[in-house]
A and B are shown apart, each in its own frame.
Chain A
Amino acid sequence: MNGSLIIHQPGNSVVTDLGRFRGPRFGLPVNGALDQFSARAANILAANADNAPLLEVTALDFRMRATTDVLIAVTGAPLHLTVGGRECPQWEPVSVRAGETVALRRITGGLRAYVAVHGSVEAPVLLGSCAPDTVVGFGLRLSEGTELKTSRSVGPIRQPYFDLPLFRLGLTRPEFSSRVVVEVTDGPDVDEFGDTADLLYNTEYTVSGRSNHIGLRLGGALPERQSTAEVLSRGVPVGAIEVPSREELLVLHRGRGVTAGYPVLAVVTSRSLDVLAQARPGHTITFRKTTVPEATAQHRAALRELETLRSTVSTVFSLLGIGRQPGWPELVPAAGS
Chain B
Amino acid sequence: MAATPTPTPVEVYESGDAALRVVASSPDTEANWTTVHALAEWLEEAGADGVHGAVPTYDSLLVEFDPGVTSARQVRAFVLMGLRQLDFVGAPSRAPRTFEVPVVYGGEYGPDLERVAAHEQLSIQEVIALHTAKSYVIRCLGAPAGSPMMDGPDFPLPVPRLKDPRLSVPAGAVSVAGRQAVIAPAAAPGGWCVIGQTPLAVLDAASEPLVPYVPGDVVRFHQIQPEEFASFAGLKLEAAR
| Interface size in chain B (residues, C-beta < 8 A) | 49
Q: Is B72 a contact partner of A292 (Cβ separation < 8 A)? A: yes
Looking at B53, B72, B73, B145, the one whose CB has the most chain A CB atoms below 10 A away is: B145
Cβ of B116 within 8 Å of any chain A Cβ, yes or no, is: no
A251 → chain B, closest Cβ, in Å?
Answer: 12
Query: Is A336's beta carbon under 8 Å from chain B?
Result: no
CB-nearest residue of chain A to B149: A233
Given B67, B140, B203, which contacts A259 in the complex, CB threshold below 8 Å? Answer: B140
Q: Return chain A residues, CB-CB under 8 Å to B55.
A: 24-25, 235, 258-259
Say yes or no for B60: interface residue by CB 8 A criterion. yes
Instruction: Find out whether the CB atom of B53 lies under 8 angstroms from the CB atom of A27.
Output: no
Choice from B14, B53, B145, B186 contacting A186 with Cβ under 8 Å: B14
Q: Looking across the interface, which residue of chain B has its beta carbon closest to that of A18?
A: B66
Minimum distance in angstroms from A188 CB to a CB of chain B: 4
Q: B210 contacts which chain A residues (CB < 8 A)?
A: 26-28, 127, 136
**In whole angstroms, how far apart are the Cα atoms of A234 and B14 in the complex?**
14
Total contacting residues, chain A, CB less than 8 A: 46
**Structural contact, B58 and A126, CB atoms closer than 8 A:** no
Of the candidates A21, A233, A260, A267, the one whose C-beta lies within 8 Å of that of B16 is A267
**A236 contacts B16, C-beta separation under 8 Å:** no
Contact A234 B67 (CB under 8 A): no
B44 to chain A, nearest CB (A): 7
The reply to whether B57 and A270 contact each other, CB–CB distance below 8 Å, is no
Given contacts A21-B52, A236-B62, contact A27 B17 (CB under 8 A): no
Chain A interfacial positions (CB closer than 8 Å to B) = 21-22, 24-30, 126-127, 133, 135-138, 185-188, 230, 232-240, 257-260, 264, 267-270, 292-293, 295-296, 299-300, 303
Q: Is B107 an interface residue (CB 8 A)?
A: no
Q: Are A259 and B142 in contact (CB under 8 A)?
A: yes
Query: Quick check: B62 and A234 within 8 Å, CB to CB?
Result: yes
Most buried by A among B19, B143, B209: B143
With the chains together, A138 CA to B205 CA distance in Å? 8
Beta-carbon nearest neighbor of B54 in chain A: A25
- B130-162 interface mask toward A, CB cutoff 8 Å, 1 = contact, 0 = none? 000000000011111111010000000010000
Q: Judge whether B19 and A137 touch: CB under 8 Å.
A: no
Asked if B223 is at the interface of the complex by the 8 Å CB criterion, the answer is no
Contact residues in A for B143 (Cβ distance below 8 Å)? 27, 29, 135, 257-260
Interface CB pairs A-B, < 8 A, 16: A21-B64, A26-B211, A27-B147, A27-B211, A126-B205, A135-B145, A188-B13, A233-B149, A235-B62, A236-B62, A237-B62, A238-B18, A257-B144, A270-B18, A293-B72, A296-B72
Tell whether, in the assembled complex, residue A135 and residue B144 are in contact, meaning their CB atoms are under 8 Å apart: yes
B93 contacts the other chain (CB 8 A)? no
For residue B188, CB closer than 8 A to chain A, the reply is yes
Minimum Cβ distance to chain B for residue A280 (Å): 23
Q: Assess whether B15 is interfacial by the CB under 8 Å rule.
A: yes
Chain A residues positioned under 8 Å from B5 (CB to CB): none
Instruction: With A27-B142, A237-B15, A268-B16 as known contacts, state yes or no: A232 contacts B52, CB within 8 Å.
Output: no
Interface string of B197-234 (1 = CB under 8 A from A): 00000010100111100000000000000000000000
Q: Are B53 and A21 in contact (CB under 8 A)?
A: yes
Let me know if A239 and B16 touch, CB within 8 A.
yes
Report if A230-B158 is in contact (Cβ < 8 Å); known contacts: A25-B40, A295-B67.
yes
